[in-house]
Structure formats: C-alpha cells, structure tokens
Structure 1
Amino acid sequence: MGNGHFVLNTDLGSNHDYMAKELSKELTNTVKKYFEVYPFAKDGLDILFLYCNSFEAITRSVESLFKQVKRFKEK
C-alpha cells in the first residue's frame, strides 16, 4: 500500500535512527493514503509490526502516527 523504500543494509548495529525515521515516515504516509481510499478505517485501524529489529523504530513510528492521527481524522 505504501510507496516503499528498499534498504539494503538492515544490520542491527547500523543506523537505528535512520531506520526509525524512514519507517515512521513511510508508515505515516501509508496510513494517510489508506484513509483517503478507505475513509471508514478512521474509526479503527490495526497495524502489526513483524520482524522489526529495533524497538526505536516501532516507538518512533507509533509516536509519529499519533501526532498525525488527529489531522487525518479531521479531513
């Protein structure tokens, strides 16, 4: 559903901050587009994180999404 970015280096020790920022940006954009296509999903949407090596990426993604969710629902 999202635009998608291919990242070659997913080594645990490298660039947690970069990966977290990219994942949160991609997730936010995907949810925004999903709400545009399926406006009824604004009432409730489940998101599942699978095979994520960094808790920082999940935390930043959820925080970013909650910051944006009010703006998504208002539109």
Structure 2
Amino acid sequence: MDTPQQPRRTPEQVAAAAAAMDRALAAGLPPDVLGTMLSARAAWWGHADWPAHDDLARVLAHPASRAVDELLWQAIRRRIR
C-alpha cells in the first residue's frame, strides 16, 4: 500500500488546505463527503481504518472532491479499484 510519509506543513500550507476545503464546500461538496475524505486522509497516513468502499466511491463521484486534495483523491481512487 502507498502510505506517504507525513510531512510537516507550514501555516501557509494548512491555510491553503483549509481554503481548498472551503471552496469545495461552496461548490456543493456535501460536508459528509468532506468528512469521509478527512477520515481517508487519516487512514492514508496510517492513523485510522479506511472508510467503507461505498463512502469512498461517493467521494470519487462528486466532482468538487478532487479540488480538495488531488493526491488524496488519487489514493482513494487506487484504494477502491
């Protein structure tokens, strides 16, 4: 499995990630789908179990989800193949 090393993020990177989430929510991403993405991120880092396959499929099905984090979106895509 492809588990990246968890990087240290600068305050600017954290702010940019939060802004991307805000834009995705404004574009219609349901909050529960964003929550699934955050759970998937924790799993990707090895800190939690992966969300259910159907929940991950909902992430991929929503166009705004890709704008949140492209690398995470790709990891989710590989996970449910």
Give TM-score scaled by structure 2 length: 0.30
Larger C-alpha radius of gyration, 1 or 2?
A: 1
Larger % of helix: which?
A: 2
Give TM-score scaled by structure 1 length: 0.32
